Amino acid sequence: MDISLVIPLLNEVDSLDELNDWIHSVMNENRLSYELIMIDDGSNDGSWEKILQLREKNPAIRGVKFRRNYGKSAALQVGFQMASGEVVVTMDADLQDNPEEIPEMRKKIVEEGYDLVSGWKKKRYDPFFSKNLPSKLFNWAARRLSRIRLHDFNCGLKAYSNAVVKSIEVYGEMHRYIPVLAKSSGFTNIGEQVVRHQERKYGVTKFGMERFINGFLDLLSVTFVTRFGKKPMHLFGLIGTLMFVLGVIALLIIAIQKWYALRHSMHGNLVTDNVLFYIALACMIIGSQLFIGGFLGELISRSAFDRNHYHIEEEC
């Protein structure tokens, strides 16, 4: 099979007919075999009933209905597990992603050897201050921390080789950072394609401003997990050791000052009256706690079931 399309949706009943027809037309026009995996993430507007109706007309459709709303990451993870196509494409169900971009994205995967191709909505039909500006800041921070040169991490339209989606686990709110997860699994050939952004035709957005706060926190989490998940001591131990050493140096300065004052019969303040003493004490305590935290993290990491799980590309 050429393409598996994974489409998570929540209360998008009005757009499903048009979306199905549009995808079917593009796939037929380009002579691509495909499966359309729709994940109903707890809709209550009749979306599931619409999926069942569409399946009677289009046998390429496969549907999954969640008992409640689990979130986009959970929907994508289930879709990835089901996908059998050579190339796996994700897109939103609100008609803002254009299926006509899919053949070119597939070509980049199959013919040009990319592991992942992310869409870039260069021109967006969204409010500037409530969506565009926060999105630009968010993407700037993601580029800096992840070191992946993508302009639009949160674009729902992405294409992957099947090996990528079978090698990663999407959880929590990590759907924004699938390129980061892919990179940590050894898939470093990540590309980008400018895609057309459509104005929303039906319904309302399911994401509020809180997604930017949650997104930044998730960015810190995924950055830590991918870099230090199996070696927490390298982070906590290093910072803890530096803080402890700074505390020791501060105490040595205090001790030298006290010795000098006594040596020359000078009147000196009590050590406990010196603000540097408390700074040194705080540094040594915090440094010790960080070091112990890193040590405990190492013990937990070594006890994890996947501690010796490595992504093997091929063997002979």
Top pLDDT among 204 and 2 is at 2
**Residues 160, 271 share a domain:** no
Last residue of a domain, one of 202, 228, 254: 228
Residues 26 and 148 in one domain: yes
Q: Are residues 149 and 184 in the same domain?
A: yes
Contact 116, 179 (CB under 8 A): yes
What is the tally of structural domains in the chain? 2
CATH number reported for the structural domain that contains residue 203 in this entry: 3.90.550.10
Indicate if 249 and 209 belong to the same structural domain.
no
Q: Which domain holds residue 111?
A: 3-228
Per-residue confidence (pLDDT) for residue 270, from 0 to 100:
80
What is the pLDDT, as a whole number, of residue 300? 83
Per the domain annotation, does 98 fall within a domain? yes
The answer to whether residues 169 and 211 belong to one domain is yes
129 in the same domain as 71 = yes
Tell whether 188 and 240 lie within a shared domain: no
pLDDT band of residue 6 (cuts 50, 70, 90) is very high
Q: How many C-beta atoms lie closer than 10 Å to residue 2's C-beta?
A: 16
In the structure, what pLDDT confidence band is assigned to residue 111 with cuts at 50, 70 and 90? very high
Distance between CA atoms of residues 251 and 279, nearest Å: 9
Contact status, residue 108 vs residue 179, Cβ threshold 8 Å: no
314 occurs within a structural domain: no
**Residue finishing a domain among 228, 252, 286:** 228
pLDDT digits (tens, 9 = 90+) for 63-102: 999 999 999 999 999 999 999 999 999 999 999 999 999 9
In a shared domain, residues 152 and 247: no
Distance of CA 102 to the CA centre of its chain: 22
Residue 149 domain flag: yes
17 part of a folded domain: yes
Whether residues 28 and 115 share a domain: the answer is yes
pLDDT bracket for residue 266 (50, 70, 90): confident
Average pLDDT over residues 17-44: 96
- Flag whether pLDDT at 316 surpasses 60: no
Boundary residue ending a domain (168, 200, 228): 228
The answer to whether residues 53 and 194 belong to one domain is yes
Query: What's residue 315's pLDDT?
Result: 59
List beta partners, residue 192. Answer: 118
DSSP output for 151-163: S-TT-S-EEEEHH
